[in-house]
Structure 1
Amino acid sequence: MERIGDRVDLLDRVIDAVAARGLERSTFRSLATDLGISTFPLVSTFGTKEDLLATVVQHVEKRQADLARTMLDGDVLDAKLFYEFWNWCVSNVQAMNLDLEIILHQRRSRPEDQSVPHSALGQWLELWTARYRRSGYSEPHALQKATLMTAVVWGLQLDLVITGDTSRVTAAYVQLVDQILRELDAGPADSDQAKPL
């Protein structure tokens, strides 16, 4: 009988395999081959392929939310946490690729759903907005700043996944962190208040 460890261990291994293979190309058979097991443990643990992929999506979204919360939800912003997050990104490019693929998959599978509150992007947006509000920005301005920061951080992750140019993208991220920390520490200037588009 195969020894596969517990469900959490199996899920971690499955996530690594899905990240390497891609969400759309992952089947029970291909994942079992990648993991060196039969399909039986996958079926008995996760049920259907859709259930397995839903579990992967939930786990990845939770990981992103935890990373965002660690960085943005404390009383004091700590540059060290921003750099720990980026070090995780650099060390886990395949996992970031999976994060991005999941967001695109959700968007394609629900094109009529214009909301993002339950996606990883939505969680980042909520946390950035709250952080800007705590620094004295009005609600509309906090949302505009949060949208920009969410887009830039995810854009840098996408750039890293696509180009693999760690030094260039990391230099940009370091500059961004410096700007964010100065901006949040200083609070809004009168000229910074939200302008209608």
Structure 2
Amino acid sequence: MARTVDSAHRDRLLDAAARDLLECGLPGATLDRLAAAAGTSARMLVHHFGSRQALLDAALERARAWELDRARAVLPSTKDFPSALAGAWSWFGGDEAHRYFRLFGQVAAIGRLGDEQAGVSRARLTTEWLTVFTDGFAAGGHHPAAARRLATGLLAQIRGLLLDLDATGDRARIERAYRDYVELLT
């Protein structure tokens, strides 16, 4: 008789694996490390997901969904998008967003080396953020083409500032640069 998969248990394992990736990163994400984080065995992870790669793909998808849900909460698509944008640095520059930035930066770096992760491609890492920002600018009254151009510049600015923050730790200078850029937009 075939075993049925307990989807609630599988979801808990998946959540634990996604949290581990956010805390520890993609390098060194062995089945043993992910199993320890989930309080189970490597064998059980393979039972539920089929392979380490399938687990990683699913965990990256879960983490990505969490990030985008949080981004839409911080940056709702409303007429007052510029105000939301002005206050968003507290999230972008904080620990929670830094974990996402680091993890998906690792995914992008691996992709640049020719090993795209299934489901979370480098292109998707950009297009999903462009959609968040484009929707916000459009809700704020910008024509769709202008909203897309503004979103492109904003995404580049934020990524550059986050790389700078990661490299230098000069939070005051970077926060000021973000505020200046948002003032230019508004």
TM over 0.5: yes
Match of 1:121 in 2: 126
Q: How many angstroms does 1:82 deviate by?
A: 5.2
Compute the RMSD of aligned alpha carbons.
Answer: 3.2
Match of 1:83 in 2: 87
Deviations 1:80-127 (A, max 9, x none): 5653563364122233201222233345325xxx983xx132012133
Q: How many angstroms does 1:78 deviate by?
A: 5.9
Match of 2:13 in 1: 10
2:150 to 145, 149, 158: 145
Tell whether the 8 Å contact from 2:20 to 2:34 is kept in structure 1 after alignment.
yes
- Separation in structure 1 between the aligned mates of residue 12 and residue 99 of structure 2, nearest angstrom: 18
One-letter amino acid of the counterpart of residue 28, structure 1 = L
One-letter amino acid of the counterpart of residue 104, structure 2 = D
Tell me the secondary structure at the aligned position of residue 169 of structure 1: helix
Work out whether 1:41 is the aligned partner of 2:62.
Answer: no
Tell me the TM-score normalised to structure 1 length.
0.67
Match of 2:4 in 1: none
Deviations 1:38-90 (A, max 9, x none): 22332233221111111122123223322343314224326356535633641
1:109 to 105, 115, 122: 115
- Separation in structure 1 between the aligned mates of residue 122 and residue 21 of structure 2, nearest angstrom: 26
Match of 1:136 in 2: 142
Q: How many angstroms does 1:171 deviate by?
A: 2.8
One-letter amino acid of the counterpart of residue 124, structure 1 = W
Tell whether the 8 Å contact from 1:60 to 1:99 is kept in structure 2 after alignment.
no
Work out whether 1:74 is the aligned partner of 2:85.
Answer: no
One-letter amino acid of the counterpart of residue 83, structure 1 = G
Aligned in 2, Cα 1:163/1:145: closer, same or farther, shift over 3 Å? same
Q: How many angstroms does 1:33 deviate by?
A: 4.1
One-letter amino acid of the counterpart of residue 165, structure 2 = L
- Separation in structure 1 between the aligned mates of residue 44 and residue 93 of structure 2, nearest angstrom: 30
Tell me the secondary structure at the aligned position of residue 25 of structure 1: coil
One-letter amino acid of the counterpart of residue 156, structure 1 = L
Tell me the secondary structure at the aligned position of residue 109 of structure 1: coil
Match of 1:169 in 2: 174
Tell me the TM-score normalised to structure 2 length.
0.70
1:160 to 158, 165, 172: 165
Tell whether the 8 Å contact from 1:72 to 1:128 is kept in structure 2 after alignment.
no
Give structure 2 stretches of 5+ with no counterpart: 1-7
